[in-house]
Amino acid sequence: MKSLLLVLVVLVLLSCVPPVKSGPNMYIRRVFSTCWRTKGVCKKSCGKSEEYHIFCDSAFLCCIDKKYLPIQVGK
């Protein structure tokens, strides 16, 4: 009975530990969250030097640096 209680306590404590946001997982996540021929990054909002060009999915914008955007003709 004590071992079952110990296992439950450990599981509860492990569920409270936040996920790690650094290390190699950060770089892997960035590669898979790219868009626009890997020039852009999927984010919720774009920075000041970025503009969104297309949508990544229903919740994210494809934020691209202005120098990588295509030239618009006939503006």
List pLDDT tens digits, range 31-56.
Answer: 677 787 778 888 889 899 888 878 88
Residue 28 lies in a domain: yes
Residue 39 lies in a domain: yes
Residue 3 lies in a domain: no
Each residue's pLDDT tens digit, 58-75: 788 888 888 888 777 655
C-alpha count within 13 angstroms, C-beta hemisphere, residue 29: 9
Task: Specify the pLDDT at position 28.
Answer: 66
46 Cβ neighbours under 8 A, 6+ residues apart: 52, 61, 63
DSSP code for 36 = T
Would residue 72 be called left, alpha or beta, if left means φ above 0 and alpha means ψ between -120 and 50 degrees?
Answer: beta
Residue 11 lies in a domain: no
Helix (H) or strand (E) holding 29: helix 24-32
Residue 57 lies in a domain: yes
Task: Specify the pLDDT at position 42.
Answer: 86
Residue 12 lies in a domain: no
Task: Specify the pLDDT at position 25.
Answer: 62
Task: Specify the pLDDT at position 24.
Answer: 61
59 Cβ neighbours under 8 A, 6+ residues apart: 44
Give the domain extent around 71.
Answer: 20-75
Looking at the structure of the chain, the number of domains it has is 1
Residue 9 lies in a domain: no
To the question of pTM greater than 0.85 for the whole model, the response is no
